[in-house]
Homo-oligomer: A and B are copies of this chain.
Amino acid sequence: MIKARVTVTLKNGVLDPQGKAIEGALGALGFDGIGQVRQGKVFDLQIESADKAKAEEDLKAMCEKLLANTVIENYSISFA
C-alpha cells in the first residue's frame, strides 16, 4: 500500500479571501508580524498498489480531473 499526500494551493495572484480573513483574525488575537496567509487543501490517499510510478501517474490524473482546479490552483504530490 502506498500512502500519498496531495497538496493543492492557490496560484500566485489569485485572491484568497479566506487567507485574508485568517490574517486579520491572527492580528486581532495579538500575533503581529504576519505578512501573508494563504490557505490550501491537503488530501491523504491510500493506494492499494506497490507500483509507485503508476500511482504517481494516477495521482496526477486525479488532480487534473477532480482534486485541483488547475486554472487557479497548483498541486504537488509527495509520498510518505
Contacts and interface: CB of A to CB of B under 8 A. Distances in A.
Interface of A: 1, 7, 9, 19, 22, 25-26, 29, 31, 33-49, 58, 61-62, 65-67
Given A26-B66, A29-B65, A58-B31, A7 B37 contact: no
B43 A41 contact: no
A66 B7 CA distance: 21
Contacts of A29: 62, 65-66
A44 B37 contact: yes
A31 B6 CA distance: 16
A58 B35 CA distance: 14
10 contacts: A29-B66, A31-B62, A33-B47, A33-B48, A35-B47, A37-B44, A38-B43, A39-B41, A39-B43, A40-B43
